[in-house]
Chain A
């Protein structure tokens, strides 16, 4: 069965550089969530989109932005990267209005050096 696809799987960037993470939800899923997970930490909610509109916002820095496109894939854009941005970034998707069963992608491991 198709799952949530994230790319790239690994990314190494230098401080002050930019990074773009991509997420392709499960077909027919209309909601995408982005989470940041530091080592030994719980996933921290960043932002979500429902039907291509931003639906909820969490602890996403102003240096980050995201959007959901017409084909429902989503991109997380991260600028002026800092060492503290190093983390696993997960995308999850779900179907139907409101919060429901969310399936996670395999994550993108971002390392800022």
Chain B
């Protein structure tokens, strides 16, 4: 069935350090994996996404890696800044459907 496990639930890092959040999915048919950032009381905003035909995608300080064999994907944030503090959600979807299933979220705190 559809299920996305996300770890860790909370993550505290020093400004300038890297942060890594991992998600595991169960449905091998899933082929779309976005990451959303949500600040308190605001809407989730897409920060990066990846499709199953690539293994890595990078956008400035943010990168996502995908391991299809192991069914997991990760978000990497380098040179973290206090404004990176938020809740990050991974999600999975597939071309044959019209829904995104979200992970449980990771609360990232970047200490100045």
Query: Interface residues, chain A, CB within 8 Å of chain B?
Result: 31, 33, 41-45, 48-50, 55-56, 58, 90, 92, 97-107
How many angstroms between the C-alpha atoms of A106 and B42 in the bound complex? 6
| Residue in A45, A49, A98 whose beta carbon sits within 8 Å of that of B94 in the complex | A98
Contacts across chains A and B counted by CB atoms under 8 Å: 64
Note all chain A residues with C-beta closer than 8 A to B105: 41-42
3 closest A-B pairs by beta carbon, nearest first, are: A99-B93, A98-B95, A55-B98
CB of A45 within 8 A of CB of B97, answer: no
A107 to chain B, nearest CB (A): 6
Interface size on B, residues (CB 8 A): 23
For the residues of B in contact with A, the DSSP-based class is loop
Note all chain B residues with C-beta closer than 8 A to A106: 42-43
CB of B98 within 8 A of CB of A105, answer: no
How many angstroms between the C-alpha atoms of A23 and B46 in the bound complex? 19
Note all chain B residues with C-beta closer than 8 A to A103: 46
Besides A49-B98, A90-B44, 5 other A-B contacts (C-beta < 8 A): A41-B104, A43-B44, A43-B102, A105-B43, A106-B42
